[in-house]
Structure 1
Amino acid sequence: MKLANLLSSDRIILEMAAGEHWPAIVELIDHLVACSSLDASLRDEVLAALKIREEQVSTGVGHGVAIPHAFSDKLDKVVAVFGRSKEGIDFEALDQRPVHFVILFLVPKKDYHLHLQTLAAIAKMFTNVEIRRRLASAGQHQEILDIFAGKPSKAAANGAS
């Protein structure tokens, strides 16, 4: 499953305001509500589920990446949002380094297997240092969507390195 299939331009924050773990998650959820990707009536329930998950172990997985996620029995499909922070967010990450990329996703409880597939796809993508470099320098929403879709950089597409 490609992350690009779960995102759209309105589900990307080019520069997050939050500088800490929990406020970053709240910012992402509020963004989903603001762009009508998550019903406002689910906000508190989803935040509570995310809080429980984060209390188990931080979803700051290292390499500047965090992947907060939770389940809801009131969703029909996976909902995702991507946020970037050039300054970095103190996410209590496993490697104790600031997080620059946060991919938050919510999965319907009935589709538990999608959780594992989505998590694996995201983790695999973010082990690639070139992907992280390109995401850090992307200036527009569409550039980020293209990276997640696996499209080559413009320099690579033009034969430059």
Structure 2
Amino acid sequence: MKLIDFIRTDAIIPDLQATDRNGVIRELVESLARSIGLDEKEAASIGKAVITRENQGSTGFGKGVAVPHVKHPAVKQIAATIGRSSGGVDFAALDRLPVYLVVLLLSPPDNPDQHLASMENIFRHLQRENFRRFLRQAGSKEEIIELIQEADELPA
């Protein structure tokens, strides 16, 4: 499975406007929900679920990255997007540093194996220092898409 297979490129936000964790989550959820055809009520429910999940334990794993994720009945297939914050956001990350890259993953509740495989794929890519650095420097949605495609071609 390639990252580009489940990243909804039309939902990528290269310059997040929100400056706090919950705002970033809502901004990304709204963008991804529109991309996969969900209505405002479903988007609000997903946003609440992601924030609840985040309150249980931060998905900011360090190195300037957070990967909020949730399984939700409104989601019919795995979908993800990426947001970039130029100023950084406090996600209560493990290393206590600001988060600049946020990958939001939404999954249907009935396919935990695919959710786990998608998470592994995201983390494998984000472990690469060059990938993180180039994503942080990307100035457009097109640059982010190109970086994802290039990273997908690297050996696992």
After TM superposition, is the score higher than 0.5? yes
Larger Rg: 1
- Paired AA for residue 135 in structure 1: L
The 8 Å contact of residues 37 and 79 in structure 1, kept in 2 or not, is answered as no
The 8 Å contact of residues 7 and 145 in structure 1, kept in 2 or not, is answered as no
Give matches, 1:60-79, under 5 Å.
60-79=60-79
Residue number in structure 1 paired with 2:95: 95
Distance 1:12 1:32 in 2: 8
Please report how far the alpha carbon of residue 21 of structure 1 lies from its aligned counterpart in structure 2 after TM superposition.
1.1
Residue number in structure 2 paired with 1:130: 130
Q: Secondary structure at the match of 1:18?
A: coil
- Paired AA for residue 70 in structure 2: A
Q: Percent identity at matched positions?
A: 34
Distance 1:150 1:68 in 2: 23
1:53 aligns with 2:68: no
Distance 2:92 2:18 in 1: 14
TM normalised by structure 1 equals: 0.86
Q: Secondary structure at the match of 1:146?
A: helix
Residue number in structure 2 paired with 1:150: 150
Which shifted more, 39-48 or 17-26?
Answer: 39-48
- Paired AA for residue 96 in structure 1: R
The 8 Å contact of residues 28 and 81 in structure 2, kept in 1 or not, is answered as yes
Runs of 4 or more above 4 Å deviation = 34-37
TM normalised by structure 2 equals: 0.88
The 8 Å contact of residues 8 and 32 in structure 2, kept in 1 or not, is answered as no
Q: Structure 2 unaligned segments of length 5 or more: list them.
A: none
Residue number in structure 2 paired with 1:155: none
> Alpha-carbon deviations, 1:84-125, whole Å to 9, x = none?
011111111111000010000110001111111111111111
Please report how far the alpha carbon of residue 126 of structure 1 lies from its aligned counterpart in structure 2 after TM superposition.
0.8
- Paired AA for residue 69 in structure 1: H
